[in-house]
C-alpha cells in the first residue's frame, strides 16, 4: 500500500487529522485536503488548502488518487435542524458532484457517514447494518441521502464506493465546541472548573469508540476487497452520559453538572453491531475507562 496515493477530504477535522497520522504511520502516501492550513501539521503528510465546494479545485485534487476518504461536513447533529439547507444545498449536492467526477477514475472511496444518527430510534440493539435507517434529525438524513446516492454511483462507476457508519468517536484532538464530543466536553469543563451541561436526564446511551481504533478500522477498510459496502465502525458497547461523568469523577472529583431539558434531535439509545467490521478488521478495542483517562491526561498535560 505504500505506493498508493491516499486523499482525505476534510483532513483537518478530528477524524481526518488522526486518520492522516495513522496512515502516515503505516507508510502510506497521504494528502490532506481542507480549507485552511492545519494547526499542527505532520511533516509526513502533504497538505492542500482549497475549497471542497469549488468544482475545479475538487476535480484537480482527486486526480490520480487511489483511495479517497470523504470526512467533511458543514453541519453537526446539534445544529442541523436549524442549518439543514446548508447540509442539503452544499454537503449533499457537492458530494454528488464528487461521485460524478469519480465515475471514470479507478479509485476506492470511503464515505464517513454517521452511525449515531442515520439509524434513528431502533428497538433492536445493537443495531446491524441491515436495520431500516430512520434518522430523526437533518444531519443523519443528509448522511443517508448521500449514502443512497453513493449506492447508485457504485453500480455505474469504475470507483469502488463504501460507507463507514462511525458511532461516537472520542479522543485527543476532539473539540466539543464544534457540536459533538460529550467526553471531550466533560473533561474540558472539569479541568476549567466549569459545570457540564447535560441535555436531559443523563441516561442517553451512546456507542463510544476511541479514535485510534476508528483509524485502524478505516485503514483496514481501504484494504478490503469483498462485496460488502456498508460497515458500522463502533465498539458495540453502550455507555450513558451519567456513566461517563462517573468515570471522569474517579479521575477528577471536581466534576459538576447542570441538567437541562432534553433535545428533540437526540435519540435515546444507540449501540451498533460491529461484527462485520471486526471480521475484516479484528482490532483490540480500547476500554472506555482507559480511553477517558488517556484523553484526560492529554488535555491536562
pLDDT at 169 over 70: yes
| CATH number, span 5-170+210-236+271-285 | 3.40.50.720
Angstrom distance (rounded) from CA 33 to CA 44: 14
The pLDDT value recorded for residue 179 is: 61
CA distances from 211 to 34, 99, 168, 193, 250 (A): 20, 27, 9, 26, 22
Domain parsing of the chain, residue ranges:
5-170+210-236+271-285
pLDDT digits (tens, 9 = 90+) for 177-198: 766 789 999 999 999 999 999 9
Query: Cell 478488521 sits at which residue?
Result: 281
Give the residue among 51, 19, 54 at the shortest CA–CA distance from 35: 51
Average pLDDT over residues 269-280: 97
- The verdict on whether omega for the bond into residue 130 sits within 30 degrees of 0, i.e. cis, is no
Q: How would you label 52-72 residue by residue, b for 16+ Cβ within 10 Å and e otherwise?
A: beeeeebeebbeebbbbbbbb
- Alpha-carbon gap, residue 79 to 138, rounded angstroms: 9
Per-residue pLDDT tens for 92-150?
999 999 999 999 899 999 999 999 899 999 999 999 999 999 999 999 999 999 999 99
3-state SS assignment for residue 237? coil
- Flag whether pLDDT at 286 surpasses 90: yes
pTM of this prediction exceeds 0.85 = yes
So what's the pLDDT on residue 12? 94
* Closest to 149 in 3D by CA, of 94, 210, 228: 94
User: CB–CB of 225/162 below 8 Å?
Assistant: no
* Residue 66 · residue 77 · CB < 8 Å: no
Q: Tell me how many degrees the CA angle 295-116-120 measures, rounded to the nearest 5.
A: 155
In the chain the first and final C-alpha atoms are separated, in Å, by 35
- At a CB cut-off of 8 Å and minimum separation 6, what does 239 contact? 205, 206, 207, 208, 288
**Residue with cell string 461516537:** 168
The C-alpha cell at 45 is: 503528510
Q: How confident is the model at residue 256 (pLDDT cuts 50, 70, 90)?
A: very high
Amino acid at each position: 500500500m505504500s505506493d498508493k496515493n491516499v486523499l482525505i477530504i476534510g483532513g483537518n477535522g478530528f477524524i481526518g487529522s488522526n486518520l492522516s497520522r495513522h496512515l502516515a504511520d503505516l507508510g502510506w502516501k497521504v494528502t490532506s485536503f481542507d480549507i485552511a492550513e492545519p494547526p499542527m501539521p505532520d511533516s509526513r503528510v502533504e497538505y492542500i488548502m482549497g475549497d471542497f465546494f469549488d468544482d475545479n479545485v475538487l476535480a484537480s485534487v482527486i486526480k490520480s488518487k487511489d483511495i479517497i476518504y470523504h470526512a467533511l461536513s458543514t453541519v453537526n447533529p446539534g445544529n442541523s435542524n436549524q442549518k439543514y439547507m446548508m447540509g442539503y444545498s452544499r454537503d449533499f449536492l457537492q458530494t454528488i458532484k464528487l461521485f460524478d467526477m469519480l465515475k471514470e477514475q479507478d479509485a476506492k472511496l470511503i464515505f464517513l457517514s454517521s452511525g449515531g444518527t442515520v439509524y434513528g430510534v431502533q428497538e433492536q440493539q445493537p443495531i446491524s447494518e441491515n436495520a431500516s435507517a430512520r434518522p430523526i434529525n437533518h444531519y443523519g438524513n443528509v448522511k443517508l441521502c448521500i449514502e443512497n446516492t453513493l449506492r447508485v454511483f457504485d453500480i455505474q462507476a469504475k470507483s469502488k464506493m463504501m460507507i463507514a457508519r462511525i458511532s461516537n468517536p472520542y479522543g485527543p484532538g476532539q473539540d466539543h465546541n464544534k457540536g459533538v464530543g460529550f467526553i471531550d466536553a466533560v473533561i474540558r469543563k472539569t479541568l476549567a472548573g466549569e459545570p457540564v451541561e447535560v441535555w436531559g436526564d443523563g441516561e442517553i446511551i451512546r456507542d463510544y469508540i476511541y479514535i485510534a481504533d476508528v483509524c485502524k478500522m478505516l485503514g483496514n477498510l481501504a484494504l478490503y476487497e469483498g462485496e460488502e459496502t456498508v460497515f458500522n465502525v463502533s465498539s458495540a458497547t453502550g455507555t450513558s452520559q451519567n456513566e461517563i461523568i462517573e468515570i471522569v469523577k474517579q479521575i477528577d472529583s471536581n466534576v459538576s453538572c447542570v441538567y437541562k431539558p432534553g433535545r428533540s434531535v437526540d435519540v435515546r439509545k444507540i449501540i451498533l453491531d460491529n461484527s462485520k467490521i471486526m471480521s475484516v478488521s479484528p482490532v483490540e478495542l480500547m476500554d472506555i475507562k482507559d480511553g477517558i483517562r488517556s484523553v484526560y491526561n492529554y488535555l491536562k498535560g
